[in-house]
Amino acid sequence: MRLTRRYRFSAAHRLNSPALTDAENDETYGKCNNPYGHGHNYVLEVTVEGPVDPISGRVTAPPLLDEFVVKEIVSRYDHRNLNEEVNELAGVVPTTEVVSEAIYKRLHAHWPETLPALARVRVWETRNNIFEVTKEPV
């Protein structure tokens, strides 16, 4: 059985690679390379999987998952500049692909034994751009 919970956070970032020229950054990232950055209202989905408990009829208690995800991710990312204020994103271009992997890695590294297995992290950057991680990234 899988359970997916949704969380929201707002954050800013600038997509700009020091390995690229100004022209290459403009071509690669377009308006996302704005020197002042830009923001998104992200939607984070965290999916867990495991057996349904025969007594409670649930795969887990949602408040337990909520407490963990808010502590590890939402409180760290909400209303932050991802380029400058989130340690796990220091020195990388914080594309939503990179952000999704960083979120998965952080959750996976701190995952409590009291929760069923982490199955998936999905990050909605916009209604058209959705990124998903289903196993620990390399």
Would you place residue 13 in the very low, low, confident or very high pLDDT band (cuts 50, 70, 90)?
A: very high
Is residue 32 in a domain? Answer: yes
| Angle of the 96-110 helix axis to the 62-69 helix axis, nearest 10 | 120
Range of the domain at 101: 2-133
Is residue 9 in a domain? Answer: yes
**Residue 32 among the catalytic residues:** yes
Residue matched to tokens 């887990």: 60
- Separation between Cα atoms, residue 99 and residue 131, nearest integer Å: 9
Q: Where are the beta strands (DSSP E) in 26-128?
A: 38-49, 80-81, 117-124
Decide if 104 contacts 137 (C-beta within 8 A): yes
Number of domains in the chain: 1
pTM: 0.94
pLDDT over threshold 80, residue 136: no
Is residue 42 in a domain? Answer: yes
**Residue 38 among the catalytic residues:** no
Average pLDDT, rounded, for the chain: 96
47: domain CATH number is 3.30.479.10
Is residue 72 in a domain? Answer: yes
Is residue 44 in a domain? Answer: yes
Would you place residue 137 in the very low, low, confident or very high pLDDT band (cuts 50, 70, 90)?
A: low
Closest CA to 5 of 102, 116, 138, 129: 116
Is residue 106 in a domain? Answer: yes
pLDDT over threshold 80, residue 138: no
Of 40, 72, 101, 125, catalytic: 125
Is residue 105 in a domain? Answer: yes
Of 32, 45, 49, 97, catalytic: 32
Structure tokens belonging to residue 134:
């289903």
Is residue 138 in a domain? Answer: no
Please give the average per-residue pLDDT across 95-111, as a whole number: 97
pLDDT tens for 44-74 read 999 999 999 999 999 999 999 999 999 999 9
Residue 17: how many CB atoms within 10 A of its CB? 14
Of 24, 79, 110, 136, catalytic: 79
**Residue 24 among the catalytic residues:** no
- Separation between Cα atoms, residue 96 and residue 39, nearest integer Å: 12
pLDDT given for residue 135 in this prediction: 79
